[in-house]
Structure formats: structure tokens, C-alpha cells
């Protein structure tokens, strides 16, 4: 079970870092579930059900009705769409 959770968590985190919209939406709720798994089964509780339904609805709506592209999250750098470069000079 822990191996499966680790593999799925790694896949979700990798998609999150690459900037894929679906993974960026699901990552926060998945990680809360992983953090809370020793205390209670968060994914099976009634508190998670509305969050899960809303998350799935947002993902389905966004994927089907528009092309969602995001820039990957870069370590030690400025976001590619930021107006200021790393050296502090404005981008042209």
C-alpha cells in the first residue's frame, strides 16, 4: 500500500512541477490525504467527498472546454511569464 501511495504521489508531484493543470488541481488534496492517512482515512471521509466532486468537475470542465497550458515551475529561477528577469532587469 505504501509503495502504491508513493508511486502515485511521485507521479502527481512530477505533473505538478511540470505545470500540468490536472495535477496542479489534484496535488493539494492528494497531499492532505497522504499527511492524514496515519490519523484518519481522509479520502474516505464525508469531508473529502464535496472536495473530490468539485475537483473532478473543474478538471473535466477545463480539459473539455479549453486548451489549458501552463508553464512548468522552475527551481532557482523566475517564472517564464514573469516581467522581471533573474538579474533584475526588465524583460523585452
| pLDDT tens, position by position, 75-90 | 555 555 555 555 555 5
Are residues 9 and 34 in contact, defined by beta-carbon separation less than 8 angstroms?
A: yes
pTM to 2 decimal places:
0.59
Q: Identify the pLDDT of residue 4.
A: 93
Selection from 78, 34, 42, 63 nearest residue 89 by Cα:
78
User: Which residue do the cell numbers 523566475 mark?
Assistant: 78
What is the pLDDT averaged over residues 56-72? 70
DSSP 46: T
pLDDT mean across residues, the chain: 76
Burial readout 36-71 (b: 16 or more C-beta within 10 A, e: otherwise): eeeeeebbeeeebeeeeeebeeebeeeeeeeeeeee
Q: Return the pLDDT at 89.
A: 54
- Higher-scoring residue by pLDDT: 3, 47: 3
Amino acid at each position: 500500500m505504501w509503495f502504491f501511495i508513493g508511486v502515485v504521489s511521485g507521479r502527481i508531484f512530477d505533473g505538478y512541477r511540470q505545470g500540468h493543470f490536472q495535477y496542479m488541481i489534484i496535488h493539494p488534496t492528494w497531499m492532505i490525504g497522504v499527511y492524514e492517512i496515519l490519523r484518519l482515512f481522509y479520502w474516505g471521509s464525508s469531508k473529502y467527498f464535496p472536495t473530490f466532486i468539485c475537483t473532478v468537475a473543474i478538471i473535466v470542465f477545463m480539459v473539455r472546454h479549453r486548451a489549458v497550458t501552463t508553464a512548468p515551475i522552475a527551481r532557482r529561477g523566475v517564472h517564464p511569464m514573469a516581467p522581471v528577469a533573474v538579474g533584475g532587469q526588465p524583460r523585452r
